[in-house]
Structure 1
Amino acid sequence: MYICPLCKGTDNQFYHEDKRRQYLQCQSCQLVFVDPSQRLTPEQEKAIYDQHENDPGDQGYRRFLSRIAEPMDERLGSNQQGLDFGCGPGPALAQMMRERGHNVDLYDLYYYPHSEVLQKQYDFVMATEVIEHLYQPDEVWQQWLSLLKLGAYLGLMTKLVKDVEAFSTWHYKNDQTHVLFFSRATFEYLAERDSLDLEFIGNDVILLRKSKHEST
């Protein structure tokens, strides 16, 4: 029996299969995920990440990241404290937010494994092209929520699942480091479960805000 890695649901049905992997969908939170037995090892995963060239000075890359940096900055006050989670070897987003007057810490499992920053709380946490890679998304999601002050923002970038037909020819699933695929319905499930305000911006930016009042 497969267990959903996000919500721990047990009703998970076949969704799609290609030459390399099988994909399942949770009927509770609608997450699409790779059969866990077909994931890469950490060594194989890092070897792929080491090939990425995310240069903070690359104008094309900065335009890509501006899709989340600009709306996040618009919602923040001045001189806010943030965390770039999963920043990779070239933390361009952190640099862009610093240029906007914010203080930003870095965390990345492979490149900036500074666990002390995970003991703090922030006005905003950003994770771009991160959530689709997680092997233990439930644990990381709870960690993100614990990092947020009341009223703080969680900003994510990830491509969203539309339907099985589109998924079957979707280039995004072909990256073997991508093991989770979220839809609007999945984020709506999480927002309702965890009392978060939710906003979708464009096709791949998701902003969630922690309620200013603790739930009882």
Structure 2
Amino acid sequence: MQCTLCAGDAHPFAQVDGRDYFRCPCCQLTFEHPDRLPGPDEEKGQYDLHDNRPDDPGYRRFLAQLADPLCEQLSPGAQGLDFGCGPGPALAAMMTERGYPCGTWDPIYAKDETRLAPQYDFVTCTEVIEHLHQPAREWAWFADHVRPGGWLGLMTRWLTDDHAFARWHYRRDPTHVCFWQPATFAWLADTQGWELHLTGNPVVLMRRRP
């Protein structure tokens, strides 16, 4: 099986609830069999179940786990994009309110392809990368569209316990198809020109090397 991130040779990792998972020994990504991935209608049906309202204080506290450390790194007026903003783009609003204008893009809810053309001082990507069917494609985009010296802010629950994988709540979401761990982000930093800052599960900050 070819790894969907680094194209290396991945090995069988687990079979749970009729789903086959593989682990790449090179980049340490764990991912579901590409032939078993959910279709667009199933994905949207699952996403529509989320109640992520921009004015929800609890949701804002959740997103502040990323927004707070990211804002500490940004220069005044830095401009960004919330990649995969979903139906309730709260993080973009929070960043804009703090003085960092932030646009939105989402393949389902905000598909404005003109937003994918510029380079940005920062890109946020919260609860998105676990859904990626072709993560190599998105990481190539991040590398091209985060300016040198700019920041990529990620939120995804790290896979830290292989023994608990089968019963892990994060795995049970049918649209979660790839799972990341610190070693995966370290591989990306080493091979694609990022500085890695692990602020704590589930937040990762990565700075594009100048």
TM-score, normalization: structure 1?
Answer: 0.95
Q: Which amino acid aligns with 1:65?
A: L
8 Å contact 1:16–1:164 — kept in the other structure?
Answer: no
Q: CA deviation at 1:181?
A: 0.2
Match runs of 1:197-212 below 5 Å: 197-212=195-210
- How far, CA to CA, are the matches of 1:166 and 1:190 in structure 2? 25
SS of the aligned residue for 2:22 comes to strand
- How far, CA to CA, are the matches of 2:111 and 2:103 in structure 1? 11
- How far, CA to CA, are the matches of 1:48 and 1:164 in structure 2? 25
Please, which of 176, 179, 182 is the counterpart of residue 180 of structure 2? 182
Match runs of 1:61-210 below 5 Å: 61-210=59-208
SS of the aligned residue for 1:33 comes to strand
SS of the aligned residue for 1:8 comes to coil
RMSD: 0.8
Aligned-residue identity in percent: 46
- How far, CA to CA, are the matches of 2:207 and 2:18 in structure 1? 37
Structure 1 residue 49 and structure 2 residue 47: aligned? Answer: yes
Q: CA deviation at 1:168?
A: 2.4
- How far, CA to CA, are the matches of 2:196 and 2:17 in structure 1? 36
- How far, CA to CA, are the matches of 1:146 and 1:195 in structure 2? 11
- How far, CA to CA, are the matches of 1:70 and 1:121 in structure 2? 22
User: Which deviates the most, 46-55 or 147-156?
Assistant: 46-55
Q: Which runs of 5+ in 1 are unaligned?
A: none
Question: What is aligned with 1:9?
Answer: 8
8 Å contact 1:85–1:125 — kept in the other structure?
Answer: yes
How far does the alpha carbon of each residue in 1:53-97 deviate from its partner, in whole angstroms, 9 at most, with x for none? 110111110000000000000100111100000000110000100
SS of the aligned residue for 2:104 comes to strand
TM-score, normalization: structure 2?
Answer: 0.98
Q: CA deviation at 1:165?
A: 0.4
How far does the alpha carbon of each residue in 1:89-123 deviate from its partner, in whole angstroms, 9 at most, with x for none? 11000010011011111100000001101110110
- How far, CA to CA, are the matches of 1:181 and 1:144 in structure 2? 18
- How far, CA to CA, are the matches of 2:119 and 2:7 in structure 1? 26
Q: CA deviation at 1:169?
A: 1.9
Q: Which amino acid aligns with 2:143?
A: L
Q: Which runs of 5+ in 2 are unaligned?
A: none
8 Å contact 1:15–1:164 — kept in the other structure?
Answer: no
Q: CA deviation at 1:127?
A: 0.2
- How far, CA to CA, are the matches of 1:158 and 1:61 in structure 2? 15
